Amino acid sequence: MDVTTIDRRRLILSIGAAAGGGLALGYGFFTPGEAAAAASGAIGDYVVVAPDGAVILLAKSPEIGQGVKTLLPMIIAEEMDADWSRVRIEFAPVDAKYGDQSVGGSTTTPENYEPMRKVGAAARAVLVQAAAERWGVPAASLKTARGEVIDPASGRRLGYGELAAAAAKLPPPEPAKLVLKSPKDFTLLGTDQVGVDTPAVVHGEPIFGIDTELPGLEYAVYVKSPVPGAKLVSADLDAVRRQPGVTQVFALDGLAPPAGQQVGLAPGYAPGVAIIARNWWLANEARKVLNARWDESIGAGHSTDVYDAQAREILKGSGKVVSQHGDVDASLAGASKRVQAVYHAPFLAHLSLEPQNCTARPTADGGVELFAPTQVATDTRELTAKTLNLPLDKVVVHIRRSGGGFGRRLMADAPVEAAVIAMKAQKPVKLVWAREDDVAHDYYRPALWIALDAGLDAKGHVSAYRSHGVSFTRDGTKPTTGGGVFQDAVPGLLAGSARTEQSLMPTIIPTGWLRAPASNALSFVHEGFWDELAHAAGQDPIAFRLAHMRARIAAEAENSEEGEPKLKISRLAPVLELVAQRSGWANRQSLPHGVGMGVGCYFSHRGYFAEVAQVRVSQDGDWRVEKVWVVGDVGSIILNPLGARAQVAGSVVEGISHLRCAVEFKDGCTVPTNFPDFDLSRMPDAPQIDIHFLITDHPPTGLGEPALPPVIPAVVNAVYAASGARVRELPLTADRIKAALKTT
Amino acid sequence: MAITLRVNGRGLTAEVPPEMPLLWVLRDELGLKGTKFGCGVGACGACTVHIDGEATRACRTPVGTIGAREITTIEGLHAHPNGQALQAAWVAHDVPQCGYCQAGQMMTAAALLKDKAKPTREEIEGAMAGNLCRCGCYDRIQAAIGSAAGVEA
Ligand code: FES
Ligand code: FES
């Protein structure tokens, strides 16, 4: 029989696994009488083996293009010695037994590597045990390879498919007794493997959230105020109702989240008007006659130019001290050279290519079923249950592939809206945001402003490093989501003395995590200023960094409590040294006129990256990144090199988009509306990229983010090298470069 | 109004207003969801299809303007003269990350190769510049088009 047609929810009737960080191996048995039970074997919560030897592995975490739907099952397959060419992958159901089914912060690899290995090793152990019992030989005498158990003494072999039914009935092995492979014996991990959905993608199969199809499905838009959270004053619902194809129109009051919290991260949803129609275009057309008026008064004054003026005023004073070492004031006073600058990184939007959407269907038991392209399947389920006041078991979430995430889908706002609308309409509804909705209702990377003041001693060493950052707050005390993390970055950490101060301005603009949150702005600021310090000291920017790092490495050796995932300069310096070699940094003076190299290095999300960018700048200030050299240390093994290189290349291209974009606000409303308002990287903007991984003796970590932060300062520093223009504000426009040329 | 379209070699009829964009007729009325919605304003290329062999933005094409012309979508790409070579190259290079832009990328690439069997690197860049990939797969798109065309990319 074909296992692929079996309903997953019935097949995987298993008992807890991977809950709470530790691994309890669950075992799945078929309920008596099920046809599937007779013919195939579910081994634990993740593995199903069909009688013909085909294997289904469940991917527990959402796929947003970062490759974990391929990678997590690869880890299982490696330890169980499955034949990868006969493995099919499906998303796991959203269930507490799979732990937190979310993806963000490049945590999927570090948090799941060992647990998934144990899942695979456990499956292998019971398959071997089943063979041992069949043959009457000790399990320890048997081997496995490519989906078979082998008895080396007799040469006998049994395929996993022939053993599955017996193996599925065996008690689970004790996790402590599992024997994991030595990584040197890996045959699958460490090899290039094509993404498991790639064949479906190239044939246009409907695998994305937005492609969900259900019987009787109708299509919705949800019209909200341009000012976040503003209430509806009036709207012409009747006019909308008369539009062709419209089946239902209703206004929703919304549900405010607890004070100081944001919809999407806490129970609640925004007020708005739902328009449901026979197809999505008709629903979206009908909004043209809605004529909605909102009470937008809460937005007054929340404009980017107002924020900018406020921030620069605040930077004249001092902020709350969040970390310090040494006597910065004394060192600044005694410095032989002072360097001061103000940097600014603007608000940014996520702009995943698949707009926010979710399909929801009321269920017969009074609950709701969601088909969600999300990064947070577990939270989506919980927030939906809390918002609708339903018990958790009445909310079923199916993970659908996401057309990009970049942190946007860490917010469950669209899925919760879809659930609320479907429940009110009492029919299956696909909610799709127009691109204009997606731009207007993002959780933006918060802008920040940082004033820096550093002192160099007589030897050109940074003796003092003061940074004062201004970002936003929602509740008056804590920084708003995705911002205000003014942690010690490299220059401060390496300086003789340092002080980090923070000031927060109130905002109503929704903010969130954008790929490499905080680091994507802080790298620009600190690594740009570091470059300024090197030039002020009259030194090569890489040699200058390395000289400062060496002293710190000695201190780290004595001070060993700085463990993972904390920054270790002893891992940052080698990637910097290597990128200098690979890029031909020492010969950069021979580059043609108008072309320069710049460097950035950064630690984020447990990964260490150093990057050199070669940039051409024209007389008019137009710039193009010609080549980027990347060296990264993400541990002892690159689990899927093909996917790993894609993540790094994508990070570089996205870093260049960060350099080119900004989001403006006017009285709480987002000014840009659609893609033409963003100068996103296109194919002609993509540089040549040289990628190298430095293999080190550390556990493997994730690659969704850490390669992104360094490219931003590398490009800005290269523009300086190429043209002499020191740009301290993004986006990096030709006008800014020309203006900087006049003042530097 | 009943409108009949020629899609991937078949005649398909939908009861829709003539000003409705082809994109939404394909996706919501004809059940062909391989063609993707990205922006609705012709700025991302996610909705690219062929009309009589020419790469066209389905989000900006009122369905009433198409008439009897032949529409090819990603679901029909395999029958295009370059379709299977492109699909094989896309898999070999593992071009997609999230994959959402790829239908549009491949349709644009197929139209390019029909006009220019051996495009240069710059010609590929020029032809593909209207197709946004937010995941940044551009190096592999470039390489895959090169291999499908049998040229060094
Ligand atoms: S959806 Fe048609 S170009 Fe973007
Ligand atoms: S692969 Fe994600 S947008 Fe291109």
Digit-coded pLDDT (tens) for B121-137: 999 999 999 999 999 99
A93 lines ligand 2 (CB under 6 A): no
pLDDT mean over A451-456: 97
User: pLDDT at residue A425 above 90?
Assistant: yes
**In this structure, what DSSP letter does residue A401 have?**
B
Other C-beta atoms closer than 10 Å to the C-beta of B152 total 9
pLDDT tier, A1 (very low <50, low <70, confident <90, very high otherwise): very low
pLDDT tens, A523-536?
999 999 999 999 99
Please give the mean pLDDT across all residues of chain A.
91
Report d(CA B116, CA B135) in Å as an integer. Answer: 27
Q: Which amino acid is at B53?
A: G
Q: What is the pLDDT of residue A485?
A: 60
Q: Which of residues 203-262 of A touch B (CB under 8 A)?
A: 203-208, 210-211, 213, 219, 244
pLDDT tier, A486 (very low <50, low <70, confident <90, very high otherwise): low
Q: What is the pLDDT of residue A6?
A: 32
Q: What is the pLDDT of residue A105?
A: 83
- The region of weakest confidence among A178-182, A402-406, B118-122, B148-152 is B148-152
Q: Does B59 touch chain A (CB under 8 A)?
A: no
The boundaries of every CATH 3.10.20.30 domain in chain B are 2-76
Q: What is the pLDDT of residue A736?
A: 97
> For a pLDDT cut of 90, what percent of chain A falls above it?
83
Class of domain B78-149: mainly alpha
Beta partners for residue A399, in sequence order: A372
A353 lines ligand 2 (CB under 6 A): yes
SS (H, E, C) A83-152: CHHHEEEEECCCCHHHCCCECCCCCHHHHHHHHHHHHHHHHHHHHHHHHHHHHCCCHHHCEEECCEEEEC
Q: What is the pLDDT of residue A93?
A: 92
pLDDT tens, B8-64?
999 999 999 999 999 999 999 999 999 999 999 999 999 999 999 999 999 999 999
Instruction: Say how many CB pairs under 8 Å bridge A and B.
Output: 187
A3 or A427: which leads in pLDDT: A427
pLDDT tens, A10-66?
222 222 222 222 222 333 322 222 333 334 467 788 999 988 899 999 999 999 999
What CATH number is given for B2-76 in this structure?
3.10.20.30
Fold of A304-348+444-558+565-743: Aldehyde Oxidoreductase; domain 4 (3.30.365)
Do the chains contact at B96 and A197, CB–CB below 8 Å? Answer: yes
pLDDT tier, A484 (very low <50, low <70, confident <90, very high otherwise): low
Class of domain A3-202: alpha beta
B44 lines ligand 1 (CB under 6 A): yes
pLDDT tier, B153 (very low <50, low <70, confident <90, very high otherwise): low
pLDDT mean over A297-305: 97
Spacing, Cα A569 to ligand 1 middle (Å): 45
Angle at which helix B138-149 crosses helix B121-128, to 10 degrees, equals 120
Other C-beta atoms closer than 10 Å to the C-beta of A140 total 8
Q: Which of residues 177-206 of A touch B (CB under 8 A)?
A: 192, 194-195, 197-199, 201-206
User: pLDDT at residue A295 above 70?
Assistant: yes
Residue the block writes with tokens 């190259």: B89
Do the chains contact at B136 and A649, CB–CB below 8 Å? Answer: yes
pLDDT tier, A502 (very low <50, low <70, confident <90, very high otherwise): very high
**CB-nearest partner of B44 from A213, A281, A675:** A675
Q: Which amino acid is at A375?
A: Q
Of ligand 2's atoms, which has the minimum distance to the CA of residue B135? 2
Report d(CA A588, CA A614) in Å as an integer. Answer: 9
Residue the block writes with tokens 């918060």: A446
CA distance A678 to chain B (A): 10
pTM of the model: 0.94
User: pLDDT at residue A5 above 50?
Assistant: no
Angle, alpha carbons A220-A222-A224 (nearest 5°)? 170
User: pLDDT at residue A138 above 70?
Assistant: yes
CA distance A511 to chain B (A): 20
User: pLDDT at residue A731 above 70?
Assistant: yes
Fold of A209-297+356-432: Aldehyde Oxidoreductase; domain 4 (3.30.365)
pLDDT tens, A238-264?
999 999 999 999 999 999 999 889 999
Q: Where are the domains of chain A?
A: 3-202, 209-297+356-432, 304-348+444-558+565-743
In this prediction the ipTM stands at 0.98
CA distance A285 to chain B (A): 9
Residue of A191, A201, A276 to mutate when probing chain B, most B C-beta within 10 A: A201
| Domain A3-202 matches domain A209-297+356-432 at the CATH topology level | yes
